[in-house]
A and B are shown apart, each in its own frame.
Chain A
Amino acid sequence: MTPPPDVRLTLPARPEGVAVVRQALAGMADALAFDAAVVADMKMAISEACTNVVVHAYDEDDGVLEVEMSAGESGLTIRVRDHGSGIRPRGERRGEAPALGLGLPLIAALSDSYELTGTAGRGTEVKMTFEYLREGDPADENPVQGSVGDDGRWDPDARGTHAG
């Protein structure tokens, strides 16, 4: 079977774009032999990665969110990229509710491998890989640590009530 072509999306880094990326991923996954549970994990992880770009990357509204999806022999590789400063959440500057801070722990738990690269002021890239045939649950290997803290943000050192 010929694999689906690589997909590259460039869209404004705004909240309404995240669902569009999720739908594009669902379409890509339909063309590949993924288990429904893995598709659910991919949709969650890509949403969290895109949300990080929307919330953290840019000072203003004109930033760009880039997403690449590439089907390889053993799995699907997804890259989510920005070209922003990544300094502090935009919402905090606007007086909006702060982000929970759970995005990266979720990406680590849901993907079969992930890598975060970038330098301050030059943008950030999250690369995630999802295997067609999983040998185990990545959430067992990289469980989400901690629990919600008293300030309402995720505290990785808090004692959760779950295993891990």
Chain B
Amino acid sequence: MDANPIVLDDAAGDVVVVVVEGEHDIYTAPTLRERLDEAISRRGGIVVDLTGATFVDSSVLGALLDARRRALEAGQGFVVCVGDAVEPGVQRILDITGLVPVLPVVNGRDAAIETARSGNGAGG
């Protein structure tokens, strides 16, 4: 059993959700990159749900920023979401890097799916 799973949820149809749970760092970043690649290859919007994540470091941010760039270049929406209660090991790095508006990070998966579906400004 994987204590730090990263799985794709395509229940939303045209938007695929990459569900990231547990602790993630340089060890799991290659897996995250693989999942993000797979999500991008489906050609729809991408949501990365960090609600169940307890720790993410700059290796994870690097993977998210790379995926975001490629998604937006391809005209696909890209949004990160968190839950109502965000772990300090996730909130802190998002806050001090100023990446909340950049990624962007929104509250709640449903809102994120809607934003990603609209392409969140991709391509202008």
Contacts and interface: CB of A to CB of B under 8 A. Distances in A.
Contact of A18 (B25, B30, B93): B25
Contacts of A110: 92, 96
Identify the 3 closest CB pairs spanning chains A and B, nearest first: A162-B98, A100-B62, A40-B88
Interface string B79-111: 000000001110011011111011000000000
Interface residues of B, number: 28
A99 to B, nearest CB: 7
Contact of A102 (B33, B58, B87, B88): B58
Pick the most buried of B26, B65, B69, B87: most chain A CB atoms within 10 A of its CB: B26
Given A43-B55, A148-B102, A152-B62, A143 B96 contact: yes
B61 A102 contact: yes
Interface in A86-110: 96-100, 102-103, 106, 109-110
Given A139-B96, A148-B102, A160-B98, A19 B27 contact: yes
A103 B58 contact: yes
19 contacts: A18-B25, A22-B23, A22-B55, A37-B88, A40-B88, A40-B89, A43-B89, A51-B59, A54-B26, A96-B30, A97-B66, A99-B62, A110-B92, A110-B96, A139-B95, A139-B96, A152-B65, A152-B66, A152-B69
Given A19-B27, A40-B89, A97-B33, 14 more contacts: A15-B25, A15-B27, A16-B27, A18-B26, A40-B92, A44-B89, A48-B58, A51-B25, A97-B63, A99-B58, A100-B61, A106-B96, A144-B97, A152-B69
A161 interface: yes
Contacts of B114: none
Given A40-B89, A152-B69, A18 B27 contact: yes
